[in-house]
Copies of this chain bind each other. A is one copy, B any other.
Amino acid sequence: MASPDLVVRIGGEGGEGVISCGEILAKAVARGGLNIHAFRTFPAEIRGGLAVFQLRASHGPTRSLKQDLDVLCAFNQEAYDTYVDIIKDDGALCYDPELCTPDERLKGKSSFEMPLDAISREVTEGTRAKNMVAVGAMIRLFDIPLELAQNAVAEWFDAKGDKVVAMNQKAAEAGWHHSDEHFKPLHRSFERHPERDQILVTGNEAAALGALAAGVQFVPGYPITPATPIFEFLCKELPKFGGQAIQFEDEIATLAAGIGASFAGKRVLTATSGPGLSLMSETLNLASMAECPLVIVNVMRGGPSTGLPTKTEQSDLKFAIYGTSGESPRCIMAPFDIYDCFWQVIRAFDIAEKYQMPVILLTDQALAYTSMNIPRPELGVFEPVKRLAPPLDTEREGFQRYANTESGVSPMPIPGQHDLPYMGTGLEHSETGAPNYTPDNHEMMTAKRFRKLKTLGKHIVQEPSEEVEPEGAEIGVIGWGSTYGAIREAIEMLDEQDGVKVAHLHPRILSPLHEWRIRRFLGPLRKLIVPEENYTGQYAHFLKGKFGIKPIEVHKCRGMPFSAEELYRAIKEEL
């Protein structure tokens, strides 16, 4: 079956313009009315190393990265060497003969000369516009009018003035003509819907937009790859909603400031990644103990330690759940695609505020740096969940901030608003907040705090997980986070190519476990497959601990997301 998709990978040295080339391309193609899935991966250095932009476009859904390439656009030899093997048999290479020499590894696949440097030199003064030549050359493949690319080029270089814009547009045009003349066999024709009203965002942007939609008021931050863009975005946009995004000196101060602001009644979010979350460990515990709501978006990267800052991994799950001393409740969530990043941040706020606890939302580098066209989110009449306030007639004397309620949730006054001064504290405390280390009190308060998770657990029973449960499926897949798209496509491939029905459950709230729902899903299954982008199978370990099952674990710990093909093969092996 011929793929309805076109998958193009551009590779070159970091700093050479690979990424800007891809960004412009993606924008133009999405506006041209195709669905896209655009993935970036960088070296962790400012200069040197391989930078990659992969654009997949289709009139059908584009839920995942694809592994095999229709076109490899190699800016240098390293890009060729690294990726020549994943060009499809009917795929092609586009390369600059000055910078790259194809060899026998091409195995008869087609190849096209694309003299980027030469064309750039010809139409502009130097080779700096080579990546725009590539923009023009590639846009032609997708059957997108040159005009759309030119608009995107203009937007990209807007701040640099008309001259720069004009020069780059010239380069793009030259690239287009080169392609038009020489790349005929590569040109596709698509059913396009340019009239759609969609937006094009990365996972990071979607999360930041979600925070703004949720009414975030205070965003303390400290830069860390790959979470930095969320903070940078909010530094730019939050002031225009009247809130403050403030840089602190480290992640400890960042979270401490967040707790302070939360205590003071504000909706707080911060975004970080592994090493930053590690530094927050002690302070995070304080938020659980003092019962201060806040949202942490943890954009997972390759670990451990400094690890692979610009690569992806799903390896912070256990740390998010257990990552601090003693036992304190937190809610751990994972959005499963870019659109979901937007909505799950909003939901994370609701849970944090309602249950007065930190919520950690696990996204990852792949989601964060992937852009897709998504429906324009319509907020409608939006009612953010409010913290439980003390009743109006609450007496100051003997007020119990940490009252041992049935739900576990206690009334939380706000300084300046309520005349109910109390002590928020990380020491074990009585219902009023006074230090209390007696055995009975500790037992009671621990139970109270954990009861909030139980209440939340009951509450999520009614909420939808993302799922498909075809009649008669004997094999099921449970995944979490950004693997959603690849799993879904793999299941579609199994259905279409092999006529096998596979069930799929993808919970968004990972802890507390959505126990009842998972149990129901497991019911009819003969085999369960749990794919994760980590080494030890973290979610699978949980499921085993809880349900006494032995799933087939599929691990990938290579800094890259699963492709649908990989999962297709992994599931097929188990049939």
Contacts and interface: CB of A to CB of B under 8 A. Distances in A.
Interface of A: 43-45, 49, 273-275, 277-279, 281-282, 285-286, 288-290, 300, 302-308, 310-311, 313, 315-316, 318-319, 321-328, 425-428, 435, 437-440, 442-443, 446-447, 450, 534-536, 538, 541-542, 544-546, 548-550, 557-560
- 4 closest A-B pairs by beta carbon, nearest first, are A303-B326, A274-B325, A304-B326, A439-B558
A544 B278 CA distance: 27
Given A281-B323, A435-B44, A557-B442, A289 B318 contact: no
A428 B326 contact: no
Contacts of A536: 327, 450
Contacts of A558: 439-440, 442-443
A289 B438 CA distance: 41
Given A305-B285, A428-B308, A545-B542, A44 B327 contact: no
B285 A278 contact: yes
B278 A282 contact: yes
A274 B538 CA distance: 23
A311 B282 CA distance: 19
Contacts of A319: 322-326
12 contacts: A281-B323, A302-B437, A303-B325, A310-B437, A316-B325, A319-B323, A319-B324, A319-B325, A323-B323, A446-B557, A447-B535, A545-B545
B315 A327 contact: yes
Given A303-B326, A319-B322, A437-B302, A443 B289 contact: no
Task: Give how many copies assemble into the complex.
Answer: 2
B304 A324 contact: yes
A44 B425 CA distance: 14
A323 B326 contact: no
A325 B548 contact: no
Given A535-B450, A542-B545, A544-B545, A304 B325 contact: yes
A427 B559 CA distance: 13
| Residue of A324, A447, A535 with highest tally of chain B CB at under 10 A | A324
A128 B327 CA distance: 41
A274 to B, nearest CB: 3
A305 to B, nearest CB: 4
Contacts of A327: 303-304, 315, 534-536, 538, 557
Nearest to A427: B306
A322 B325 contact: no
Given A305-B286, A542-B545, A437 B559 contact: yes
A185 to B, nearest CB: 31
Contact of A428 (B49, B307, B541, B560): B307
Nearest to A316: B325
Contact of A43 (B44, B437, B559): B437
Given A439-B560, A542-B545, A302 B279 contact: no
A321 to B, nearest CB: 8
Contacts of A438: 559
Nearest to A272: B325
B278 A557 contact: no
B281 A305 contact: no
A304 B323 contact: no
A69 B435 CA distance: 27
Contacts of A302: 326, 428, 437, 442
A288 B425 CA distance: 33
B559 A324 contact: no
B325 A315 contact: yes
Given A278-B281, A286-B305, A286-B306, 6 more contacts: A279-B282, A288-B305, A289-B305, A300-B325, A306-B427, A443-B558
A524 to B, nearest CB: 20
